[in-house]
Amino acid sequence: MIDFRTHVTETPDFPKAGILFRDFSPLLRSHLGETLEALGNLLTPAEWRDLDVIAGVDARGFMLGAAMAAHRGLGFVALRKAGKLPPPVQRFSYQLEYGEATLEMHPGQGRLLLVDDILATGGTLGAAARLCHRAGYDLKAILVLADLGLREGPIEGLPVRSLLQY
């Protein structure tokens, strides 16, 4: 069994003072398949059968979401920062500690799994979940690689399942 945590590097004061940046690149470089398998095992086989598409949040959620979609034979949809997708798009603006941000995605339908790399305060992931609903998708589950322990409780009524907890 792989100790996933030992493949995550930590950089203090990046990208600004007071932030401890956890870099999952070494983990994905050395153990992408095992990471996808372990993350996928957080859902039951019945839950996987109830999915049509996986959405990944800009930008590191793209890597996990797209790879997982290919691995599971599902479609993939990107949630991008504003202005990166051609129309038509649905958008959702939200507040962050340092300002406002906007996510966009193409409208669609289907039963969706939302994937991102990190759950911190839940601002971006909560906005992404609301955007999935607004865009016409039926959000069924939320997976993240790591939960930093800064938020408790569900997002949009769904538990957030994580491979690593800090």
Query: Of residues 60, 72, 104, 134, which has the active-site annotation?
Result: 60
Q: Is 34 a catalytic residue?
A: no
Query: Of residues 29, 49, 97, 100, which has the active-site annotation?
Result: 97
DSSP 99: E
- Domains of the chain, with CATH numbers? 42-165 (3.40.50.2020)
DSSP 159: P
> What is the average per-residue pLDDT within 128-140?
98
3-state secondary structure (DSSP) of residue 36: helix
Q: What is the pLDDT of residues 98-120, one digit of tens each?
A: 789 999 999 999 999 999 999 99
> What is the average per-residue pLDDT within 12-41?
94
What is the DSSP pairing of strand 9-12 with strand 20-23? antiparallel
Q: Is 97 a catalytic residue?
A: yes
Its sign, for the CA torsion 117, 119, 124, 129, is positive
CA distance 78 to 72: 17
Determine the residue type at 121.
T
